Structure 1
Amino acid sequence: MSFNFETTYTTLPASFYREIGPNRVKEPCMLLWNERLAQQLNVDDERENVDLFTGSQQRDYIAQAYAGHQFGHFTMLGDGRAMLIGEHAYQQHRVDIQLKGSGRTHYSRGGDGRAGIGPMVREYIISEAMHGLGIPTTRSLAVTATGLPVYREEVQQGAVLTRVAASHLRVGTFQYARHMLDENAVRDLADYAMARHYPSLEQGNYIDFFRVVMNRQAQLIAQWQLVGFVHGVMNTDNMTISGETIDYGPCAFLDVFQSNQVFSSIDQQGRYRYSQQPAIGGWNLTRFAETMLPLIDDNEEVAIASLEEVLKSYPRVFGDAWLAGMRDKLGFATARPEDKSLAEQLLTLMEAQQADFTTTFRALSEGTAIKDLGEWKKQWTARLEQEGTTVEEAQQRMQRVNPAIIARNYYVEAAIQDAEAGNMETAKVLVEALQNPYIVREEHAYLRTSPAMAKPYVTYCGT
């Protein structure tokens, strides 16, 4: 079947979006096509329909309005280089189909709205890697060349990413409604979000709505920490209401474990460093709570107290999710009080020894040589014995949750450089391998480690 486009988002007040027409391109060409995702969406092979995937087809598009705190500073934003084709409805599911890098919109703020091939290939690779790891994420269906130059620090080839998301509702969308519109707009948006993402919630129960969004985000960030993922730009406009990871700009995975690792070139103060991600999640959720105040109670003090009571549980929800995941990574079948300390001791050792994050856990899973864990490994073995689990039994479980391969920075960068030179095969091979990162075929074994990079790895937002 073809796309079954509907658009429920436009049932919201018109202030939430702007209609835009097609953005013409010069020489559209399909570069990457995600056949697996197309099949999941129950969509025929649309690779020849390049006008659709560059935003140059004659049809109605919309750009969504939102605001947000960027590095702690509040500003008006919106889809400055993206537009929504529509919502694809299939098999009782509904997803946004959005084009990123498709050209100027009402919210471009002087920008050209375009994107280069490199950043779009990065998002394609990393989003599919996250999906392979089982982490909630937006997906990438296609990357299409436009034939237009994009002027940044240097001239790049233009490209458009087709992004698939449960929706593009963000904490920043609620901030826009609260600070730029009015209470009625916040209520309309909350009702829409609840109906779309959490239909089992009682209508008008905004406390439970806030609680479920908070829990989803706490669990999501715990999953990031467990695989060594550094998002890099945890602005409030990059926190979704659905609980999906969104916006793969200056992101990267840890190689050597450094708890304060920063990759983003623009994060000079380390606001979004690896170790800070859980706290920033709580900060962002506090901003979300502020937008919900008028819906909770007419008495603001009562509303604040109600939301603060929910927010108090955020550290516990995150901590429980992280510890449960760490128990899985260490092969524990039961919970014991010393587990958190044992996990933290391992991380401390890894950092002191400059151990590779992914390789350490996988080697422990496979019983292969790793850094000298000395006394810690004896404690780990004793902990398994206490619950009656053999090392071999634990390792079988561990191999199901500790990836053998990740989107390592060296190979992601190589794929991007090849793509910019016109060769998409490197990216295709990498994405194919990352579809199942727990079982490595012989031809993908080289991805388990990577050559040392000549200088510290730095990522860029691509705007």
Structure 2
Amino acid sequence: MNGPGRRRAILRAMPNLSLHDLPLDHAYAALGDSYHARVHPASLSDARLLHFNADAAALIGLPPAAAQDPRFLDVMAGNAELPGGDYLASLYAGHQFGQWVPQLGDGRAMLVAAVGSPGGGSWELQLKGAGQTPFSRFADGRAVLRSSIREYLCSEAMHHLGIPTTRALSLVGSAEPVRRETLETAAVVCRMAPSFVRFGHFEVFYYRNQHDQLRPLADHVIQRHFPQLWDRPDRYRAWLTEVCERTARLMAGWQTVGFCHGVMNTDNMSILGLTLDYGPYGFMDGFESGHICNHSDEGGRYAYDQQPRIGHWNVSRLVQATLPLLHEDPEAAVEIGTAILEAYGLAYGQDVVQRWRAKIGLREHRDGDEQLINRFLTLLHQGRSDFTRSFRHLSRIRAADTGPATGVREEILAQEAFDAWVEDYRARLRAEGSDDAARAAAMNAVNPKYVLRNHLAQHCIERAEAGDSSEIGRLMDLLARPFDEQPESEAYAAEPPPEARHISVSCSS
């Protein structure tokens, strides 16, 4: 029986299973005190469960009824510790906006435990916003409702778009005040991942010249998450190569759904190639190749068109931090590390072209395809045409038609350039004998109709701040089927109204 089927069978057999019944393990805690600090959550007054994610809960064998247990809310709010849990804040460092910061760590997040999955493997549970840790750096350790809703929604939206990501189990809100730019209210997200280890976990020991700490951490990651590499004599090289490739493919996924992360610091990069830490992110509305989604990023380091380059720069920092694992001779280690980094460019180039080709419905590889794709992106940029809607509507084009592509042309602001492009596009489709119906179905399976636009998230936040959390569930249901038409939700696929097109997000988001 496959993973999802096995999970469903277990949930049917154990409908009364609670969070307190789940099998826990503490492999990360076993690494020792050099890697983390033990912590305790701070109680949260007036805690309310705003949403429970049954889809993510099934990954750890937790049925929907488990959320009705009052003990569940207590644990998710940080008002009680999970029996058997070992609460940890992990140590790491990182390059933030290109500058080395020697110590960071989980300042408002704490690992509870890893939970075995009915489908195999395990998922770490982490509370974000549950109070101060030794790494809080004079901050309060809290998360606000605004940023918590954004992370909760987007991690699930990305999953359903097929982009590797952390998941979210629950969202708890409170009337407890928290001071940011203004006075806001507190919230706690329970997020899930097979591992929350980041590039910065390795950097901190490299730059501290504590190289003996690198091997146990790398072995922990490889044994649990790359077991197929464990018996290889070159396992560290093979592991880093796969991390490079996963990161490259993640960047290709981001680019081709129009997602901007906003803070691609090395401490926000997952060792598993997951989208991690949803702060000032954004899905582009009008396409702009140099779009900056984070107004704190004054130099545009993490602009949309820079993400693939920054992904490579970040993995180069990881490889540098792990050079002591590659060879005892520093020059030989650098030579091996340089070869490892070549994997990034190869993986990105192959994956991103394949994704763009699928988005415009090309079945075969032919010379000139990349130019055709780039011409379409250029005309989107020229008119700042809506990224998501423009790609979605391309499936309406018929290969044998002539003249303007009615039903698509209306989405494109640079219409003369688009008309010329359509002629060449139709000729390219005819050259491979493209079937209109089959192509449309394939394109609509990779070009979402619904993404978490900033104005949709903001509307949800405003309603929740006013005491109505129903829009959270509405968006979760909508974004769980981003490629389906969902006629009753057509308004959610519209371009943002003019007053909502420049919603500002920053590192406090």
TM-score normalized with structure 2 length: 0.88
| Distance in 2 (alpha carbons) for counterparts of 1:148 and 1:4 | 32
Deviations 1:168-219 (A, max 9, x none): 0100111122223622210111111111111000345111111000000000
Q: 1:254 to 1:260 in 2, by over 3 A?
A: same
| Distance in 2 (alpha carbons) for counterparts of 1:127 and 1:430 | 12
How many angstroms does 1:13 deviate by? Answer: 2.8
Q: Verify the 8 A CA contact 1:366 1:395 in the aligned structure 2.
A: yes
1:149 is paired with a residue whose SS is: strand
Give 1:420's aligned residue.
Answer: 465
Give 2:31's aligned residue.
Answer: 12
How many angstroms does 1:227 deviate by? Answer: 0.3
Give 2:95's aligned residue.
Answer: 69
| Distance in 2 (alpha carbons) for counterparts of 1:366 and 1:117 | 40
How many angstroms does 1:417 deviate by? Answer: 1.2
| Distance in 2 (alpha carbons) for counterparts of 1:46 and 1:108 | 32
Deviations 1:293-320 (A, max 9, x none): 1111111111111111121232221111
How many angstroms does 1:336 deviate by? Answer: 1.2
Give 2:445's aligned residue.
Answer: 400
Q: Verify the 8 A CA contact 1:433 1:440 in the aligned structure 2.
A: no
Counterpart check, 1:369 vs 2:399: no
Give the one of 173, 177, 202 matched to 1:174: 202
Counterpart check, 1:86 vs 2:113: yes
Deviations 1:241-284 (A, max 9, x none): 11110111000100000001012121111000000000000000
Counterpart check, 1:41 vs 2:64: no
Q: 1:181 to 1:43 in 2, by over 3 A?
A: farther
Q: Verify the 8 A CA contact 1:31 1:144 in the aligned structure 2.
A: yes
| Distance in 1 (alpha carbons) for counterparts of 2:189 and 2:168 | 7
TM-score normalized with structure 1 length: 0.97
Q: Verify the 8 A CA contact 2:60 2:122 in the aligned structure 1.
A: no
Aligned ranges 1:284-295 → 2 under 5 Å: 284-295=314-325
| Distance in 1 (alpha carbons) for counterparts of 2:444 and 2:209 | 50
Give the one of 169, 175, 178 matched to 1:141: 169
Q: Verify the 8 A CA contact 2:59 2:117 in the aligned structure 1.
A: no
| Distance in 1 (alpha carbons) for counterparts of 2:34 and 2:478 | 43
How many angstroms does 1:106 deviate by? Answer: 0.8
| Distance in 1 (alpha carbons) for counterparts of 2:490 and 2:472 | 16
| Distance in 2 (alpha carbons) for counterparts of 1:121 and 1:440 | 25
| Distance in 2 (alpha carbons) for counterparts of 1:58 and 1:119 | 24
| Distance in 1 (alpha carbons) for counterparts of 2:489 and 2:110 | 36
Give 1:209's aligned residue.
Answer: 239
Q: Verify the 8 A CA contact 2:386 2:495 in the aligned structure 1.
A: no
Q: 1:354 to 1:147 in 2, by over 3 A?
A: closer
Counterpart check, 1:457 vs 2:485: no
Give 2:350's aligned residue.
Answer: 320
How many angstroms does 1:132 deviate by? Answer: 1.2
How many angstroms does 1:4 deviate by? Answer: 2.2
User: Matched residues, percent identical?
Assistant: 36
| Distance in 1 (alpha carbons) for counterparts of 2:498 and 2:201 | 39
2:115 is paired with a residue whose SS is: strand
The one-letter amino acid paired with 1:460 is S
Tell me the number of residue pairs that the alignment of Structure 1 and Structure 2 aligns: 463
Give 1:278's aligned residue.
Answer: 308
- Segments of structure 2 that go 5 or more residues without pairing to the other structure are 1-16, 398-406
Give 2:286's aligned residue.
Answer: 256
| Distance in 2 (alpha carbons) for counterparts of 1:341 and 1:58 | 56
Give 2:404's aligned residue.
Answer: none
Aligned ranges 1:379-390 → 2 under 5 Å: 379-390=424-435
How many angstroms does 1:21 deviate by? Answer: 2.1
Give the one of 8, 15, 21 matched to 2:40: 21
Aligned ranges 1:91-130 → 2 under 5 Å: 91=118, 92-130=120-158
| Distance in 2 (alpha carbons) for counterparts of 1:325 and 1:412 | 26
Moved more, 315-324 or 206-215: 315-324
| Distance in 1 (alpha carbons) for counterparts of 2:40 and 2:460 | 33
| Distance in 2 (alpha carbons) for counterparts of 1:311 and 1:451 | 40
| Distance in 2 (alpha carbons) for counterparts of 1:393 and 1:39 | 33
Deviations 1:331-384 (A, max 9, x none): 111111211111111000111122100111100013432323111111111111
The one-letter amino acid paired with 2:99 is H
| Distance in 2 (alpha carbons) for counterparts of 1:354 and 1:127 | 26
Q: Verify the 8 A CA contact 2:241 2:343 in the aligned structure 1.
A: no
- Segments of structure 1 that go 5 or more residues without pairing to the other structure are none
Q: 1:30 to 1:285 in 2, by over 3 A?
A: same
| Distance in 2 (alpha carbons) for counterparts of 1:426 and 1:10 | 37
| Distance in 2 (alpha carbons) for counterparts of 1:286 and 1:145 | 39
Q: 1:386 to 1:167 in 2, by over 3 A?
A: same
How many angstroms does 1:147 deviate by? Answer: 3.7
| Distance in 2 (alpha carbons) for counterparts of 1:146 and 1:179 | 40
Moved more, 423-432 or 233-242: 423-432
| Distance in 1 (alpha carbons) for counterparts of 2:367 and 2:337 | 30
Give 1:331's aligned residue.
Answer: 361
| Distance in 2 (alpha carbons) for counterparts of 1:20 and 1:292 | 28
| Distance in 2 (alpha carbons) for counterparts of 1:349 and 1:243 | 31
